[in-house]
Amino acid sequence: MIGFFYGFIFSSLPAFAGFLNDQIQVIDPNEIQFEEGMKLLDQGHYDDASIVFGDLYDTTLSPRVKLEWARSLYLSGKKEEAGKLFREVLERDPPMMVRERVNVFLADIDNSKGRADISVGVIYDTNPRAVTNDRVVNLFGFSFNYDPGSSTKPQTGLGYSINAAKALDSDNKWLASFTANGAQFSDIIFNRTTLEESLTYRLYNSPNLQLKLAYEEFIYGGRLLYTDPSISLKHAANYDNGSYWTNEIKFAEIHYPSIYYYLNGPLYTALTSYGRPIFDNIVLGFDLGLDRAAAKESPYSYYTKTLGLNSNFLFPDCFIKGQIKALVAERNYDDPDPIFGIIRKDIRHGFYFSVVKTDWKLFDMTPTLDVSYEKNNSDVNIYKYDREVLTISFKKTF
């Protein structure tokens, strides 16, 4: 869930300017010194910037100056000192947008000691196996009845996710992570779990550039469906006007059990995301993606093009933050399907809504509501489906 809001949280820099602005005395020497510190910060001279902001804070006691002082210490690698200052900022009960921004820095700092986010809740899935509504399949000019082999009724179960991370060095350059997310139902055939173990190396702090090695496993219906070792390079930049831009390239090698050997092969992925604030509390953005799967047998090789539009929103007076997203993904296969005799083409539409009420707590756990709808159209009718998922979950950080 945190991942949904990273782009928006980093877009909240303009809120810094409005945070207790009246506490900075409008005196030319202080203003000049502040601008000097910001210039050093923008140029990447983080140690020099922290000295300037530290001296200026002694003179002004400005919360805004303390924020920039903490940020410069963070970027220079002095995480413990930065964390102390960030927590002092939170003690002043800043606006929600500033608080969200600071919490992102603190989360990264806490990775040094080890950090885990655990979420559990109720999930309602109208079509957990993505089964088509059609019950007649056409093969070689003949019609056959299709039996999905399991119940097609909506299922209610337990949804969960675990995200744990720990830095392996004092500078947080090396980060070991583990994630698990999925759903459990009364009938094991509907169960699904995704596991990922990863090791990330941060090549550069600002803009963030990191190299990641990961190993993913997908367990479906109580059995291991595939494994997915990968390597990726990710770039993330955040700008003073509140905009963000991220790019990622990834290479993976998909391994299915021997019965599905024809699906095995490399998967290449490229993704770019951009967002820009249109108001102080609303950011509009888009995602563009392209992936290429080169399976052992060409009828199962494909290209996928994805376009997503999203809006991250934050309503500080109500302590609400969330995201609305719509996407369309077109997948084109290389050669005719050996069973159906045509080249398969899928077009998937998705709509997603997520919202968090940050001031609501249940046993110190924060509730989140997620709602999604997906519709997949295909020229092979057995792959058509509709699906709605509703999840109410509660998250706690350790």
Task: Write the pLDDT tens digit of every residue in 190-229.
Answer: 999 999 999 999 998 777 899 999 999 999 999 999 999 9
- Among 70-74, 258-262, 313-317, which stretch is predicted with the lowest mean pLDDT? 313-317
Assign a CATH topology to domain 2-110: 1.25.40
Reduced to 3 DSSP states, what percent helix, strand and coil does the chain have, rounded to the nearest 5?
Answer: 25, 50, 25
264 or 39, which is more confident? 264
3-state secondary structure of 15: helix
Give the model's pLDDT for residue 140. Answer: 62
pLDDT 10s digits, 115-174: 899 999 999 999 999 998 887 777 666 677 777 777 789 999 999 999 999 989 877 789
Average pLDDT of the segment spanning 4-30: 49
Q: Where are the domains of the chain?
A: 2-110, 115-397
The pLDDT of 7-31, averaged and rounded, is: 52
Would you state the CATH architecture of domain 115-397? Beta Barrel (2.40)
Region 325-341: mean pLDDT is 94
Q: Which residues pair with 164 in a beta bridge?
A: 116, 178
Report pLDDT for 14: 46
Across the chain, mean pLDDT equals 87
- Whole-structure pTM value: 0.80
Output the pLDDT for position 173.
87
Percent of the chain predicted with pLDDT > 70 = 91
Residue 15 makes CB contacts below 8 A (sequence gap 6+) with 95, 97, 98, 101, 280
What token pair was written down for 141?
């000019």
pLDDT at 75: 84
More confident residue, 37 or 150: 37
Listed ranges 47-51, 373-377, 394-398; the one with the highest mean pLDDT: 373-377
Q: For position 139, what pLDDT does the model report?
A: 65
pLDDT at 7: 46
DSSP H helix total and E strand total for the chain: 7, 16
**Tell me, what's the pLDDT at 364?**
81
Model confidence band, residue 175 (pLDDT cutoffs 50, 70, 90) = very high
Enumerate residues 6+ apart whose C-beta is below 8 A from 21: 64
Query: Which of 10-19, 59-68, 254-263 bottoms out in mean pLDDT, i.e. has the lowest?
Result: 10-19
CA distances from 84 to 78, 102, 112, 217 (A): 10, 11, 14, 38
**What band does 15 get if pLDDT is binned at 50, 70 and 90?**
very low
Give the pLDDT confidence score for residue 80 in this predicted structure: 84
| DSSP string over 176-239 | EEEEEEEEE-SSGGG-EEEEEEEEEEEEETTTEEEEEEEEEEEEETTEEEEEEEEEEEEEEEE-
DSSP H or E run through 272: strand 265-279
d(CA 290, CA 272): 9
pLDDT of 273 reads 97
Q: How far apart are CA 230 and CA 353, in angstroms?
A: 29
pLDDT tens for each residue of 257-267: 999 999 999 99
Lowest-confidence segment of 96-105, 195-204, 293-302 by average pLDDT: 96-105
